[in-house]
Amino acid sequence: MREIEPAISARAVTKSFGRQRVLDSLTADIPSGVTYCLLGPNGSGKTTFIRAIVRLLHLDGGEMSVLGRPVSEVDKIYSKIGYMTQHKALYPDLTVQENMEFYAGLYGLKKQQRVARLEELLEMVDLLEHRGRLAGALSGGMYQRLSLACTLIHEPELLLLDEPTVGVDPRLRQTFWEYFGRLTEEGKTVLITTHLMDEAEKCGMVGYMRAGRMAAEGTPEEILHLAGLRPILKLWLAEPERDAAQLQAQGYEIEVEDGVVQVRLESHAQIKEVLAEVSPLDMRLVEPKLEEAFLRLSEAA
Amino acid sequence: MNRPGLGRTGVVALRVVRQLKRDRRTIGLIVFAPIVLMILFGYALSGDMSGVHLGLVDGGGHDALRAHLVSIQDFDILRLGSESDAERLITEGQLDGAVVLGTDGVRVLLDASSLQIAGAIAAAVQAGVSREQAIQGTVGGLQGTENIINTRYIFGYDLKMMDTVGPAILGLVVFFFTFINAAIAFIRERSQGTLEKFMVSPLSRVEMVSGYVLGFSLFTILQSATTLFVVTALFGVPLQGSALTALAVVLLLGAGALVLGAFFSNFARSEFQVVQFIPLIITPQIVLCGIWWPLQSVPEFIRPFSYILPLTYAAHALRAVMLKGAGISEILYPDLLALGIFFLIFFAAATLMLRREVA
């Protein structure tokens, strides 16, 4: 996946507001056709980075390219970019449908295309029944969904979503992620900022920002590896000491706690190999959490 | 049971003072706006006039009256050959009035569309004739001043205050509401994030501002048609010219007010702050545009301001259309031209400011 030309490439990008350096030599590669999750604490520069990508602010230094063009020319490809801000960018005094029609018009969608696209998106964000309601009368989650629908209306190649799932219930969040998955299958790139680690785990790639820098970047597995975290197979055995010794002899990393044998796996493929050696009464696989990985990486930094 | 306490009142007062202290604009407004406004009102209401263009047709006699008129510094006297010349120049708006001196008496021709100037000329003539009679020793005799002075209004009807002010009010109403609404609309575009989203779309800044001008124009038409109806039908203000010409003036003024509002929205952070523009942007126009007091009564050092304010030109053009029956060609210069230039300047400024906002 990573050998394809990146959708966004940033090299030593810097940006300061007054004395505060918000982007500090940030280097990142966001490959085409993936869902890329930008994680990081508040004030780490995630939103500034996204605004720099669409040239809502000018960089002090460094180089950046977007969809193969230098960032200085990004205004020529705005029709290929879908940008969802934290502000939602909707007109509360227009209906759901009128808001969508407005954005469809901005991107020059023809009537037939517009009608079809509207139906498809309204269904995806589960607002078909609410199309006639004023946006201002929607709940927070619905408002968020409408904002996403408006961002997707022109089928952008590159989606930049700043906290798109805030206030959206878990069931619908699932729908969103499935939809993002479909988009990446079509070769589109989705860049998302979020605070939610479980969302990050669903992404093809994750970038962790700290103090304006990219502290770690890679697939979720790569990040876990980087932080030294592995999946652990917990085994309940009839003769734990003997089996533990046997596994250790085979070169596995073993720990015994309260009679339970814990095997640190290099990969999931090792599960079969372990089970060929021992016959457990019961077992459980404990996956490492990205959250822990980031905590470790932060501490290490 | 809570009794009203000085302590808590003090807490609230302290908070208000702290907030105001950080809001430098409000402090400025509290301190300077009254000073500026009082100066404007004070000068405008002082009743002094200057730059009144008066024609003089000299048919002989009336030496004392002539000397009196010439001695008035506020009058720019233009000597003319005939009464018909005077009449023509008044109709064209080149003269504010004319005095015809003749052996049979004094005829005063006045432009009725500005009552204050007409009043000032009439008063000056009256004073001159009184002086003449005093010299001749006929004061209070059979020949009262009324018998000598024959006053004629060039536009042929008796105008009331509302008639002369009405056309300008039409412009004022549209200017006021369009300015405020546009400023608020642009502030909302910013606060709800739509402006930022526009910046990342194929929509250009020129398209955006133009879209606003177009959309608002529909409401300006509706608003000015209603106001025009009320002013003419209910208050009986004459409409000598075409209603369409009047609407064209108002539309151009409204477009100017819109881009001005869009431009000034950059200097306000909330709808509340838009209200603070009223004393700074709107009131000076009301005072200085020549609606309530003729431009001639605005002191000369302030008068240049009058000539950069759009309402001055709109009021002048609307008066010409409604009271004198002027057509488009007669108000093209300077009124429509000035309104057009004003619009273009602030259209450019508003679009440029949109960029600065996000850069």
Query: C-alpha B68: how far from its chain's center?
Result: 31
The C-alpha atoms of residue A269 and residue B42 are separated, in whole angstroms, by 91
Is A74 in the same domain as A199?
yes
Q: What is the pTM of this model?
A: 0.79
- Residue B110 has phi, psi (to 5 degrees) of -125, 150
Amino acid at B357: E
Q: Report the alpha-carbon distance of residue B274 to residue B268 in Å, rounded.
A: 6
Whether chain B has a CB inside 8 Å of the CB on A233: the answer is no
A56/chain B closest Cα distance in angstroms: 6
Question: What percentage of chain B exceeds 70 in pLDDT?
Answer: 91
Q: For residue A14, tell me if it sits in a domain.
A: yes
Which of B200, B203, B271, B355 is most worth mutating to test chain A (most A CB atoms within 10 A of its CB)? B200
Q: Are residues A59 and A172 in the same domain?
A: yes
Hey, which residues 30-69 in chain A have their CB within 8 Å of chain B?
Answer: 54, 56-58
Residues of B in contact with A66 (CB under 8 A): none
Please check whether residues A165 and A42 belong to one and the same domain. yes
- Which residue of A75, A93, A153, A166 is the best one to mutate when testing the B interface, meaning the one whose CB has the most B CBs within 10 A? A75
**Chain B residue with minimum CA distance to A52:** B359
Kindly state whether residues A135 and A200 are assigned to the same domain: yes
User: Average of pLDDT values for B45-71?
Assistant: 84
- Size (chain B), residues: 359
Q: Is residue A293 situated within a structural domain?
A: no
Return the higher-pLDDT residue of B237 and A161: A161
In A, which residues are within 8 Å of B358 by CB distance? 56-57
Q: How many CB pairs under 8 A join A and B?
A: 45
Does any domain span residue A111? Answer: yes
Residues of B in contact with A54 (CB under 8 A): 199-200
Confirm or reject contact between B196 and chain A (CB < 8 A). yes
Burial class (CB in 10 A: 0-12, 13-18, 19+), B159: buried
Looking at the complex, does the CB of residue B359 fall below 8 Å from at least one CB of chain A? yes
Pair of tokens at residue A256: 């015994």
Residues of A with CB below 8 A from B197's CB? 83, 85, 89
CB-CB contact of B245 with B328 (8 Å): yes
Kindly report the nearest CA distance between residue B197 and chain A, in angstroms.
7
In a domain, A294, yes or no: no
Quickly count: other Cβ atoms within 10 Å of residue B156's Cβ: 9
* Rounded CA separation B256/B254 (Å): 5
Give the C-alpha separation, A95 to A135, whole Å.
Answer: 5
Write out the residue limits of the CATH 3.40.1710.10 domain(s) in chain B. 52-153
Contact A203, A220 (CB under 8 A): yes
Flag whether A93 is in a domain: yes
Distance CA A256, CA B198 (A): 60
d(CA A129, CA A125): 11
Asked if the structure places residue A1 within a domain, the reply is no
Where does a domain end: A193, A218, A243? A218
In angstroms, the CA A30 to CA A8 distance is 5
For chain A, which ranges sit under pLDDT 50?
Answer: 1-2
Cross-chain Cβ contact B359/A57 below 8 Å = yes
Residues A265, A125 within the same domain: no
- In this predicted model, which residue has the larger pLDDT, B358 or B238? B238
Q: For position B157, what pLDDT does the model report? A: 56
Is A128 part of the contact surface with chain B (CB cutoff 8 Å)? no
The per-residue pLDDT for range B176-225, each reduced to its tens digit, is: 889 998 999 899 888 888 999 989 999 888 998 999 998 888 888 888 88
Q: Are A78 and B197 in contact (CB < 8 Å)?
A: no
Q: State the Cα–Cα distance between residues B344 and B318, nearest whole angstrom.
A: 21
Check whether residue A236 and residue A202 sit in a common domain.
no
Q: Under DSSP, is residue B53 helix (H, G, I), strand (E, B) or coil?
A: strand
Mark whether A174 and A268 lie in a shared domain: no
Architecture field, domain B52-153:
3-Layer(aba) Sandwich (3.40)
Q: What are the tens digits of pLDDT across the range B134-156? A: 888 754 444 555 567 888 887 65
CB contact under 8 A, B194 and A56: no
Say yes or no: A81 contacts chain B, CB-CB below 8 A. yes
A87: nearest CA in chain B?
B193
Q: Provide the CA A151 distance to its chain's centre, in angstroms.
A: 17
Alpha helices in B192-309 (DSSP H): 194-199, 205-229, 243-264, 271-275, 277, 283-288, 303-306
> What is the pLDDT at residue B170?
87
CATH of the domain at A158: 3.40.50.300
* A224 within some domain: no
Q: Quick one: tokens of B305?
A: 């301001």
HEC profile of chain A: CCCCCEEEEEEEEEEEECCEEEEEEEEEEEECCCEEEEECCCCCCHHHHHHHHCCCCCCCEEEEEECCEEHHHHHHHHHHEEEECCCCCCCCCCEHHHHHHHHHHHCCCCHHHHHHHHHHHHHHCCCHHHCCCEHHHCCHHHHHHHHHHHHHCCCCCEEEEECCCCCCCHHHHHHHHHHHHHHHHCCCEEEEECCCHHHHCCCCEEEEEECCEEEEEECHHHHHHHCCCCCEEEEECCCHHHHHHHHHHCCCEEEEECCEEEEECCCCCHHHHHHHHCCCCEEEEECCCHHHHHHHHHHHC
How far apart are alpha carbons B155 and B323 in whole angstroms? 8
Q: Rg (Cα) of chain A, in Å, rounded?
A: 23
Strand partners, A83: A160
Answer yes or no: do A85 and B197 touch at CB < 8 A. yes
C-alpha distances out from residue B312 to A271, B225, B343, Å: 86, 20, 14
Strand partners, B152: B109
pLDDT at A21: 94
A247: CATH: 3.30.70.260
Subunit contact B199:A106, Cβ cutoff 8 A: no
Q: Do B357 and B190 form a contact (C-beta atoms < 8 A)? A: yes
Chain A interface includes B198 (CB < 8 A): yes
For B65-124, the pLDDT digits (tens) are 889 988 888 889 999 988 899 988 888 888 889 999 988 889 899 887 777 788 888 888
Pair type for strands A35-39 and A232-236: unpaired
Q: Which residues contact A284 (CB under 8 A, 6 or more apart)?
A: A233, A234
CB contact under 8 A, A90 and B192: yes
- Chain-chain contact of A106 with B201 (C-beta, under 8 angstroms): yes
H or E stretch covering B30: helix B24-45
Same domain flag for A39 and A181? yes
Considering its fold, how many domains does chain A have in total?
Answer: 2
Same domain, A192 and A283: no
Q: Are residues A187 and A240 in the same domain?
A: no
For residue B305, which phi and psi values (nearest 5 degrees)? -60, -40
Position A271 in a domain: yes
First to last CA, chain B: 55
**How far is the alpha carbon of B189 from chain A, nearest alpha carbon, in Å?**
8
From A161, A183, A218, the end of a domain falls on A218
Hey, is the C-beta of B194 within 8 angstroms of any chain A C-beta? Answer: yes
In a mutational test of the A interface, the residue from B197, B203, B204, B214 whose CB has the highest number of chain A CBs within 10 Å is B197
- Tell me: do A135 and A25 sit in the same domain: yes
CA-nearest of B200, B195, B351 to A56 is: B200
- Give the model's confidence band at B5: pLDDT under 50 very low, under 70 low, under 90 confident, else very high: confident
In this structure, the answer to whether residues A275 and A181 fall within a common structural domain is no
**Domain extent for A43:** 6-218
Any bridge partners for residue B58, and if so which? B101
Q: What is the DSSP string of B63-80?
A: HHHHHHHHH-TTEEEEEE
